[in-house]
Amino acid sequence: MKIKEFQAFSLLGIESAMKKHKEIIKLENVSRYYKFGDEIIKAVDNVSLTINKGDFVAIIGPSGSGKSTVMNLVGALDLATHGDIYLDGTNIEHLEESDLAVLRGKKIGFVFQIFNLIPTLTASENVMLPMIFQNIPSKKRKQKAKELLEKVGLEHRINHLPNELSGGERQRVAIARALANNPEVILADEPTGNLDSKRGKEIIEMFKALRDEGKTIIIVTHDLEIAKNADKIITLKDGKIIR
């Protein structure tokens, strides 16, 4: 290999590594408190963490530990009582709700335990839904939905309603929908909770494949065996990171 070719190859490798380790999410001294009468509930208490682009992160902890609250904060579905949250360099705590909605639509894809599919819409129509809110033309929406359903192995289920699909198939539709606007971050709240072990493993393998494509994957789970598939595990207890 010539010197110039080697230098170019080396620079490409360095650039790839830098992209891989670029900060995508950062929480600085973040707290989320709720008031019930005279009592203050510290759902998240002074949490700081950094997640890099391309990370596969599992957030674990007992019920009431603050897992879902952290997920909602990272996903800009809730705002912190104290502290700062950065998404791809933007402090989301300083944005108006309309700007937050735009940011969510472009940067984040959500996958929920109960799938949250619209029962009267086909698999294809469910996947197209997020694209409507981004004003993507109808023809492009249909083509993208077809491609995504093929990607998750459901090309034969495009025109089926959710009640005509198995639990694993519905979760795969939900993942395809989460990818509709090509987000950088996928947030999944107990994504295997309603699936048997075989289907759960299939979903985790799908997340690993998305991680390998450069997506940042964050899952909330109570299942340690599922969490072990992640590159990093964050353990919460009483609203604090303990490991």
Domains in the chain: ranges and CATH = 54-72+97-241 (3.40.50.300)
34: phi then psi, degrees, rounded to nearest 5: -125, 140
Contact criterion met (CB below 8 Å) for 116 and 187: no
Helices (H), strands (E): how many in the chain?
A: 8, 10
Tell me: pLDDT of 18 over 80.
Answer: no
Give tens-digit pLDDT for 128-160. Answer: 999 998 889 999 999 999 999 999 999 999 999
Give tens-digit pLDDT for 146-203. Answer: 999 999 999 999 999 999 999 999 999 999 999 999 999 999 998 888 888 888 888 9
Structure tokens that stand for 222 in this block = 């109570």
Residues facing residue 51 across a β-bridge = 25
- Hey, CA dihedral for 61, 87, 108, 56, is it positive or negative? negative
Q: Can you list the alpha helix ranges (DSSP code H) found in the chain?
A: 3-20, 67-74, 97-107, 123-132, 138-151, 167-178, 197-212, 224-227
Query: pLDDT grade, residue 20 (50/70/90)?
Result: low
Nearest to 68 by CA among 112, 24, 98: 112
H or E element, residue 235: strand 232-237
Tell me: pLDDT of 122 over 90.
Answer: yes
Contact criterion met (CB below 8 Å) for 165 and 122: no
pLDDT at 130: 92
- Hey, CA dihedral for 216, 114, 220, 154, is it positive or negative? negative
86: phi then psi, degrees, rounded to nearest 5: -110, 130
At a CB cut-off of 8 Å and minimum separation 6, what does 147 contact? none
pLDDT at 16: 44
The fraction of the chain above a pLDDT of 90, given in percent, is 66
Q: Name the residue type at position 140.
A: K
Average pLDDT over residues 225-243: 93
Contact criterion met (CB below 8 Å) for 131 and 179: no
Contact criterion met (CB below 8 Å) for 219 and 188: yes
Structure tokens that stand for 124 in this block = 């294809």
pLDDT at 3: 52
The fraction of the chain above a pLDDT of 70, given in percent, is 91
Q: What is the mean pLDDT of the chain?
A: 89
Query: pLDDT grade, residue 36 (50/70/90)?
Result: confident
Region class of 216: left (phi > 0), else alpha (psi between -120 and 50), else beta = beta
pLDDT at 6: 43
Q: What is the DSSP letter of 162?
A: G
